[in-house]
Amino acid sequence: MTVKLGIIGAGRIGRLHANTLTTRVTGAELVAVADIFEEAAKAAAEDYRIPDFTADPSEVIQSGDIDAVVICSSTDTHCRFIIEAARAGKQIFCEKPIAFDLAEIDEALAAVDAAGVQLQIGFNRRFDANHARLKRAIESAEIGEPHTLTIISRDPSPPPIDYIKVSGGLMMDMMIHDFDMARFLLGEVEEIYALGDVKIDPAIGEAGDIDTAKVMLRFENGAFGSIENSRQAVYGYDQRVEVFGSKGAATTGNWHSNAVTISDAASVRRDLPLHFFVERYFESYVTEMIAFVDAISEGKPVPVVGNDGRVPVLMAMAGMRSMTENRPVRLDEIEG
């Protein structure tokens, strides 16, 4: 079965998915792209040979020629488009986060359930080969009982201040991937303690955000975790994960463009890590979209469901409250 898709949002991530769907995903046919900036939609249609483009996302959602929609628009539109797509009977892929508000998320998830359609959330890092191997090492007890988890995630440079102002904050925008990775690897978290500050650019603080954070996690299974985020690592995109257990450890480090080490009288050195997320995680974007299309085509459950998008938002809220109140915060406090 060929799955016919439409994309909403023709920015950086929308164009990435358009490229993937038109070049790497067997069984997918991308038939339309929408963006409120019509020139962006037109450019994407031309670049990726998409037959139709529009400035009205509803035209894509309501089209009888489309089986599924891929939502890559700004976060404040996600719930509205999820609800409209669900009521139109479309299968749905939505980039993270679903929203910044739990009530809005719950309304969207209820619409999905009521319509009997599927919703996959775009936590692509689950589909990275290294992270999948970590998961297998844990599930197969290769490292015994997990004791601690360490996640380091640092961007090469901060995003524009205009983006910072609407991003929802570092924990909702950047660390949300790491919250999801923590759940993916070790299960549910019950308590969070967070520290955060502005170490890089005062303008980020003036915009009401932080650029550096350290978060401690207490998992329901008794394990401990830590997540460290920075908006700027001058040497490139820093992505590392370690799970330490009773029988050993499983670790994944940065990816480089090559494996060459240069040794001379002055130093031993190698080239910098891959620069940013598109380069580092490109294959995971491909794999997650293959998984979505296969699930829709074969009538299987999607691998990252709506609740997987809801809980990291809850964790981000707990982290922000912890930072503000300088104390550990249980997730059930946020739900209460």
Residue with tokens 């046919």: 29
Residues 144, 239: one domain? yes
Residue 218 lies inside a defined structural domain of this protein:
yes
Residues 195, 64: one domain? no
Q: Are 55 and 29 in contact (CB under 8 A)?
A: no
Q: What is the 3-state secondary structure (H, E, C) of 243-268?
A: EEECCEEEEECCCECCCCCEECCCCE
Residues 331, 189: one domain? yes
Using CA atoms in the order 151, 301, 25, 253, what is the torsion angle rounded to 10 degrees? 10
CA 118 remoteness from chain centre: 18
Residue 271 lies inside a defined structural domain of this protein:
yes
Domain count, the chain: 2
Domain boundary among 117, 146, 177: 117
For residue 191, what is the DSSP state? E
Residues 112, 130: one domain? no
Residue 77 lies inside a defined structural domain of this protein:
yes
Q: What is the pLDDT of residue 132?
A: 97
Residue 298 lies inside a defined structural domain of this protein:
no
| Pairing outcome for strands 3-8 and 68-71 | parallel
For residue 298, what is the DSSP state? H
Residue with tokens 């792209």: 33
Residue 292 lies inside a defined structural domain of this protein:
no
Domain boundary among 117, 145, 161: 117
Residues 259, 184: one domain? yes
Q: Are 53 and 31 in contact (CB under 8 A)?
A: no
Residues 31, 89: one domain? yes
Distance, in Å, from the CA atom of 32 to the CA atom of 18, rounded to the nearest integer, reads: 10
Residue 89 buriedness (CB in 10 A; 0-12 / 13-18 / 19+): exposed
Q: What is the pLDDT of residue 278?
A: 83
Between helix 176-186 and helix 129-139 the angle, nearest 10°, is 30
Tell me the HSE value of 140 on the side-chain side, using a 13 A CA sphere.
10
Residue with tokens 């599930």: 139
Residues 65, 191: one domain? no
Residue 73 lies inside a defined structural domain of this protein:
yes
Element (H, E) at 219: strand 212-219
Residues 80, 146: one domain? no
Residues 101, 142: one domain? no
Residue 222 lies inside a defined structural domain of this protein:
yes
Domain boundary among 99, 117, 135: 117
Q: What is the pLDDT of residue 262?
A: 95
Residues 246, 167: one domain? yes
Q: For the whole model, what pTM was predicted?
A: 0.95
The tokens describing 56, both together, are 């009205």
Full residue range of the structural domain in which residue 259 is found:
126-275+312-335
Per-residue pLDDT of the chain (336 residues; tens, 9 = 90+): 899 999 999 999 999 999 999 999 999 999 999 999 999 999 999 999 999 999 999 999 999 999 999 999 999 999 999 999 999 999 999 999 999 999 999 999 999 999 999 999 999 999 999 999 999 999 999 999 999 999 999 999 999 999 999 999 999 999 999 999 999 999 999 999 999 999 999 999 999 999 999 999 999 999 999 999 999 999 999 999 999 999 999 999 999 999 999 999 999 999 999 988 888 899 999 999 999 999 999 999 999 999 999 999 999 999 999 999 999 999 999 986
Amino acid at 198: V
The CATH number of whichever domain residue 326 belongs to comes to 3.30.360.10
Residues 65, 139: one domain? no
Residues 71, 208: one domain? no
The CATH number of whichever domain residue 90 belongs to comes to 3.40.50.720
Residue 81 lies inside a defined structural domain of this protein:
yes
| Pairing outcome for strands 28-34 and 3-8 | parallel
